[in-house]
Amino acid sequence: MPKSKINITMDQDLIEFAKTYAEDQRTTVSEVFTQFILNIRRIQREDPMDIILADPKFRDSILETISQIRAGKNKWHKYEEVF
């Protein structure tokens, strides 16, 4: 999809925050705004899966679980043991 420019007016402190945030996230200010608008669109469409995946607590939980699995800290159970 071809891209176009958009001009917005914001307070200088918000502009500086957006630039710093983008740099910290190793992305661009444009991408930060793109992700923000996409998130609004997902919420309006009421796609519950996108909302769940966008939840910071869920994301943190998934990353913690992956970390524990990689470190070998989880004890695996057979299906019959769990159910």
Q: Do 74 and 57 fall within a single domain?
A: yes
Q: Which domain holds residue 32?
A: 10-46
> Would 1 be classed as within a structural domain?
no
Q: Do 17 and 32 fall within a single domain?
A: yes
DSSP letters spanning the chain: -----------HHHHHHHHHHHHHTTS-HHHHHHHHHHHHHHHHHT-HHHHHHH-HHHHHHHHHHHHHHHHT-PPP--HHHH-
CA Rg value for the chain? 19
Tokens (6 digits) for 76: 């695996």
> Would 3 be classed as within a structural domain?
no
For the segment 26-75, what is each residue's pLDDT rounded down to a tens digit? Answer: 999 999 999 888 888 877 777 666 656 677 888 888 888 888 888 888 88
pTM of the model: 0.51
Report how many domains make up the chain.
2
> Would 64 be classed as within a structural domain?
yes
CA distance 32 to 21: 9
Q: Do 69 and 83 fall within a single domain?
A: yes
